[in-house]
Amino acid sequence: MTLSWFSPLSWMAPLDGLSLGWFALAWVGYTILADHSPYGSRGITAAMNQRRRDWMVQAAGRQLRIVDTNILGNLLTGIGFFSSTTIFVLGGLVAMLGVAEEGALAVQRIPLATPIPPAAWEGKILLLLGIFIYAFFKFAWAFRLANYTSISVGALPVPEEAGSDRAKRMIESAATLSALSAHHFNRGLRAYFFALAALGWLVSPVLFMGLTAGVTLVLHRREFRSRAVRAIREADGSQDTL
């Protein structure tokens, strides 16, 4: 493994550069739209954050919080599954770096595939490695935040103190930790979606661009226009889903 792709990206054709730029623009643009703009308040994540606050209010009013511990356990299980899965994916991608010539030949057998030299194979696999490393950090941090949420729920005051200022602050703190855990978990899942698009680059830049556009549209629909969003909004008495 020589990592000849780095000298300096001489294998990258103009269409490859265009497709990579489109990929970065779509991912960053969608992240800004969904997470850092007023439009994001219309999505399912914002709606569920309100549900998390409602959950913490209900938890503070319960003497026995067995239901809450079961919910927290389910959340930790889901995050832990993706964290461990990402490690296996990273191991597979590292192994693929060592078989650049064989991998490039295998891809060329796919109909309509663009011939790919070993140097290009290494560069494209490294892009996937970067995406899944990012995803692992997001899942690992989401897992820690979910643990902090569990501790915060355990520290909620007894029902008799639920209306006190201290109880309100602790409820808000637990809800915020839960929302932050979900935020980073969603970022990790989003990386998985865009990694599926990046797989198309191994076949051809045109497929890469098409899959990137498709993934972005699917993410937008599920976040802002799905039946799940409508169901949550209707339950909250809001119809503003665009």
Q: What is the pLDDT of residues 141-154, one digit of tens each?
A: 999 999 999 999 99
Total number of domains constituting the chain: 1
- Asked whether residue 242 is assigned to any structural domain, the reply reads no
Report how many helices (DSSP H) and strands (DSSP E) the chain contains, helices first.
Answer: 8, 0
Show the domain range for 118.
Answer: 15-235
Residue 10 lies in a domain: no
In a domain, 129, yes or no: yes
| Section 184-201 average pLDDT | 96
Average pLDDT, integer, range 117-135: 91
Residue 195 lies in a domain: yes
With contact defined as beta carbons under 8 Å apart, do 122 and 102 qualify? no
Instruction: Give the pTM.
Output: 0.89
d(CA 212, CA 203): 13
What local confidence, expressed as pLDDT, does residue 239 receive? Answer: 55
Burial of 201-225, coded b for 16+ CB within 10 Å and e otherwise, reads bbbbbebbbebbeebbeebeeebbe
According to DSSP, residue 226 is labeled S
CA angle 107, 110, 116 (to 5 degrees): 35
Is 5 a residue whose pLDDT tops 50?
A: no
With a cut of 70, say whether residue 11 has pLDDT above it.
no
With beta carbons less than 8 A apart as the criterion, state whether 236 and 41 touch.
no
User: 56, 153 in Cβ contact below 8 A?
Assistant: yes
Which of the four pLDDT bands, split at 50, 70 and 90, describes residue 174?
very high
Q: Is residue 241 part of a domain?
A: no
The number of residues in the chain equals 242
pLDDT confidence of 9, banded at 50, 70, 90? low
Long-range own/partner contacts, residues 130-133 (CB < 8 A, 24 or more apart) = 131/191, 131/194, 131/195, 131/198, 132/86, 132/89, 132/90, 132/93, 132/191, 132/195, 133/90
Residue 215 near residue 194 (C-beta atoms within 8 A): yes
pLDDT the model gives residue 98? 84
Nearest to 185 by CA among 140, 222, 126: 140
For residue 240, tell me if it sits in a domain: no
Q: Residue 7: inside a domain, yes or no?
A: no
Calculate mean pLDDT across residues 92-114: 81
Out of 83-87, 97-101, 167-171, least confident range? 97-101
Q: Tell me: pLDDT of 242 over 50.
A: no
> What mean pLDDT comes out for the span 138-166?
90
- Amino acid identity, position 16: D
Residue 176 above 90 pLDDT?
Answer: yes
Is residue 111 scored above 90 in pLDDT? no
**Residues 91/133, Cβ–Cβ less than 8 Å:** no
Does the pLDDT value for residue 4 go beyond 80?
Answer: no
pLDDT of residue 18 exceeding 70, the answer is yes
Confidence at 238, pLDDT banded by 50, 70, 90: low
Residue 111: inside a domain, yes or no? Answer: yes
Indicate the angle between helix axes 227-235 and 44-60, nearest 10 degrees: 40
* Mean pLDDT, rounded, for 8-30: 85
